[in-house]
Amino acid sequence: MVENRSAYTLDACELNVFETYEAAKGVKLAFGDWVLTSMLRGKKVMHLTDKPGFDYLPGESVIVPPHEVMQIDFPEAEKENPTQCIALAISAEQIQHTVQLLNEQHAKVEEGEEWLVNDQCFHLANNVELADIINRIIRIGMHEHSREKDILANLALRELLVRLMQTQARQLFEHNYNTLAGSHRFGYIIQYIKENITSKIDVDKLSDKACMSRASFFRKFKEEFGFTPADYILKERIRLAKTYLRNPYNSVTQACYMAGFHNLSYFIRAFKTQVGATPKAFQLQAVDMPKIK
């Protein structure tokens, strides 16, 4: 009843689907390859070597190097509500080939810096792009029966590795931009955007601050993080607006302008596109609105 496994073997990876139907503690699991796990349902408490245990929830992924033992608790698993998780074991050759291709054709912005799968940035919140490609690989592994199945899987796997490294880069800069600002031009740009997020930011002037041509700056920024500088600014403003909306005494209009937006209609459209709900609907879900007497 613990860690029931279904495996789907592909040319350069193996897709494993795990389901757990009863609470358990200290279940050990290891793979001979790099493995990307992603939670689908329920909750785990994950323990990795020399790292504190952490809650592992749907919408999150964990990347683990070869032979590292995952020790897993299942505090909430039960027959009617099983914990579900996928584990994608990826061949070293596929990772090496993708990393080499990126380093040769899309070199990092700072000299001496290289693309890599970072085992220190191991616990990730899935963004839309990463979640989409994980779901695509699940569909290919479980439901694709054509002769082209391995070709499709290899193409999707290459995209997954790129999305993974971009997600790791974003998380690294989000957590360390103040430290990186003095030595990395993108660290400085992230710091500048965060410190000026409520003001008008001229996106075209960011390349000057990075000491790069406009074309090179926009290309390298998108390669590094997976979206444009304008997209990043929008995401930061939406994140800030969500913080303000969690206060029931802030109106949607107040949250809009406090977060750096200058047009209420645009804010509402952009918020709904990014979040999947209008600002007012998000606020009503996030807090218990006080009754007006």
Q: Are residues 76 and 185 in the same domain?
A: no
pLDDT of residue 292: 41
Kindly state the average pLDDT of the residues 26-55: 93
Q: Are residues 58 and 145 in the same domain?
A: yes
> Is 287 part of any domain?
no
Which domain range does residue 210 map to? Answer: 177-229
Kindly state the average pLDDT of the residues 218-240: 95
> Is 198 part of any domain?
yes
| Per-chain mean pLDDT for the chain | 92
pLDDT of residue 50: 81
Give the chain's domain count: 2
State pLDDT tens for residues 52-102: 999 999 999 999 999 999 999 999 999 889 999 999 999 999 999 999 999
> Is 268 part of any domain?
no
CA distance 25 to 13: 28
Query: Taking 90 as the threshold, does the pLDDT of residue 293 lie above it?
Result: no
CATH code: domain of residue 58? 2.60.120.280
CA distance 269 to 272: 5
CA proximity to 15, closest of 143, 138, 145: 138
CA distance 15 to 18: 10
* Identity at 287, one-letter amino acid code: V
Confidence of residue 1 (pLDDT cuts 50, 70, 90): low
Q: Are residues 111 and 193 in the same domain?
A: no
CA distances from 224 to 90, 134, 164, 201, 235 (A): 22, 20, 11, 20, 16
In the listed set 197, 212, 229, which residue is the last one of a domain according to the structure? 229
Q: Are residues 162 and 47 in the same domain?
A: yes
Percent of the chain predicted with pLDDT > 90: 87
CA distance 163 to 171: 12
Task: Read off the pTM.
Answer: 0.85
CATH code: domain of residue 212? 1.10.10.60
Percent of the chain predicted with pLDDT > 70: 97
CA distance 14 to 141: 8
CA distance 74 to 55: 10
State pLDDT tens for residues 46-56: 999 888 999 99
Confidence of residue 204 (pLDDT cuts 50, 70, 90): confident
CA distance 280 to 76: 33
Q: Are residues 163 and 52 in the same domain?
A: yes
State pLDDT tens for residues 106-143: 999 998 899 999 988 999 999 888 999 999 999 999 99
